[in-house]
Amino acid sequence: MDEIAALQPLLLGLARLQLRNDAWAQDAVSETLVAALEGVAGFQRTAQLRTWVVGILKHKIIDQFRRAGREVAIDTQEEMDGGDALEALFDAGGHRVSAPLDWGDPEANLSRQEFFTILEACLERLPPALGRAFLLREWLEMDTPQVCKELGISATNCFVMLYRARLRLRECLEIDWIGSPADAAQHATARQ
Amino acid sequence: MQTHKAGRQGMRRILIRCADAHWLMSRGRDAPLPWLDRARLYFHLRVCQACRRVSASLDLLGRAVKRLGLG
Using one digit for the tens of pLDDT, what is the confidence trace for A131-162?
A: 999 999 999 999 999 999 988 889 999 999 99
Mean pLDDT along residues A16-31 = 95
- The answer to whether ipTM exceeds 0.90 is no
CA distance B32 to B35: 9
CA distance A152 to A70: 8
Q: Show the domain range for A170.
A: 75-190
Q: Show the domain range for B16.
A: 2-66
In angstroms, what separates the C-alpha of B62 from chain A's closest C-alpha? 6
Residues A17 and A81 in one domain: no
Judged against a pLDDT cut of 90, whether residue B1 lies above it is answered with: no
Task: Provide the domain count of chain A.
Answer: 2
Residues A126 and A147 in one domain: yes
Mean pLDDT along residues B18-34 = 96
Burial of A11 (0-12, 13-18, 19+ CB in 10 A): buried
CB-nearest partner of A95 from B17, B66, B68: B17
pTM for this predicted structure? 0.86
CB-nearest partner of B60 from A14, A101, A103: A103
Query: How do residues A36-93 score in pLDDT, each as one tens digit?
Result: 988 877 666 666 889 999 999 999 999 998 888 767 766 656 666 655 678 789 998 8
Q: What whole-number percentage of chain B has pLDDT above 90?
A: 77
Residues A180 and A92 in one domain: yes
Residue where a domain terminates, one of A44, A70, A96: A70
CA distance A120 to A106: 17
Residue A44: the pLDDT is: 60
Kindly state whether B34 is in contact with chain A, defined as any CB-CB distance less than 8 angstroms: no
> CATH number for the domain including A38?
1.10.1740
